[in-house]
A = this chain, B = another copy of it.
Amino acid sequence: MFEPPTLKDIAIALGLSTSTVSRALRDTYEISSKTKKRVLDYAQSINYQPNPNALSLKERRSKSIGVVVSEVANHYFSQAISGIESIAYDRGYHIIISQTHESYEREKINVQHLASRSVDGLLVSLSAETNDISHLKELHDKGMPIVFFDRVSNEIETHKVRADNFQGAFDATEHLIKTGYKRIAHLTSSPHLSISIERLEGYMAALNKYNIPVHSDYIKNCQHGGMFPEETERAVLDLLQLQEKPDAIFIAGDRLSIGCMEILKKLNVKVPDELALAGFSNSNVLDLFEIRLSSVRQPAFEMGQAATEMLLKILESKYPITEFENRTIATKLFIRNS
């Protein structure tokens, strides 16, 4: 088995006590420089690394943070995780990732699991199914630091990082309007998610600005955010079968955008002639697509970084935090209409 060297090994080898070795390594003033050097040299030579479990036990913290996302294999989240990792790594933390697959039950279990793993804090983006966040509230009340990113909740007072969903949605919708479309539908995720609400507002604001009435039949929710293709298909078909068929769709999510394009391709619907599209997506291959999708891109990497910095600020603060930041990061519209 793999048995890394311990303080005791060094102590025995050098004929010292573990306390002396510990203090030498931590550069305490009451150890002679000769002894320090001896210890340091030897520790280096055998590549001594303190046992993290022993440290965690003693310090009552694990130097690890739990990350809760819906799916790793999603462009937005894998980019956000990269951002999270970049900061965490530099600060000596490691991250434990768990996926909810948009399920409320999985989210509850994962959060519980992470807490029992004694992570020092959580970075959470809620699942599409999650409406009740008492599982998080309870943990937060017990003192577990939590920072929300992307899909946030207002029921817990803490740091939050979100994209400028309102503006992004507004920009995309306005772009469709300016290009000449009038009957603009909206395909979105679960209606209680913060991102859905904010994007819906942006969509409506754009319509209002140009005096286009909001048509409730034009707004389609997918409870699982497009996790299941049938869900998206149903919604798109519904839109296509409306009396007054929409001439464009603003899509509020990455998976939904992809799913929608797949269905339109299957149905052989001409984009943008029959139906124009604009949607949120963090895919980096949109330029290669046959269908030209104007996209709103979220600063995923930066959001991950920001959320991690905020969490570390809580974790390493000596006093309880009372002022919480609510950061909004700008999105960017990429126009790809042919």
Contact = CB atoms under 8 A, between A and B. Distances in A.
A144 B4 CA distance: 10
Contacts of A142: 2-3
Contacts of A56: 53
A72 B62 contact: no
Nearest to A74: B78
A187 B287 CA distance: 22
Nearest to A2: B143
Interface in A50-87: 51-54, 56-57, 60, 62, 72-73, 75, 78-79, 81-82, 85
Interface string A277-289: 0000001010111
A73 B79 contact: yes
Interface stretch (A165-173, A176-184, A232-240, A258-266): A258-266
A337 to B, nearest CB: 15
Contact of A96 (B72, B73, B78, B96): B96
Nearest to A144: B2
A99 B117 contact: no
A262 B4 CA distance: 48
Nearest to A138: B47
Contacts of A28: none
A234 B6 CA distance: 50
Contacts of A57: 51, 53-54, 57
Interface string A208-248: 00000000000000000000000000000000000000000
Contact of A82 (B73, B285, B289): B73
B258 A285 contact: yes
A64 to B, nearest CB: 8
27 contacts: A2-B115, A2-B143, A2-B144, A2-B145, A3-B142, A3-B143, A4-B116, A49-B116, A51-B57, A52-B116, A52-B118, A53-B118, A54-B57, A72-B78, A73-B82, A78-B78, A82-B99, A89-B98, A95-B96, A95-B97, A96-B96, A97-B97, A283-B285, A285-B285, A285-B289, A288-B291, A289-B289
Contacts of A13: none
Contacts of A258: 285, 288
Interface in A87-126: 89, 94-99, 115-118
A290 interface: yes
Contacts of A62: 53
A99 B118 contact: no
A1 interface: yes
A289 B290 contact: yes
A84 to B, nearest CB: 10
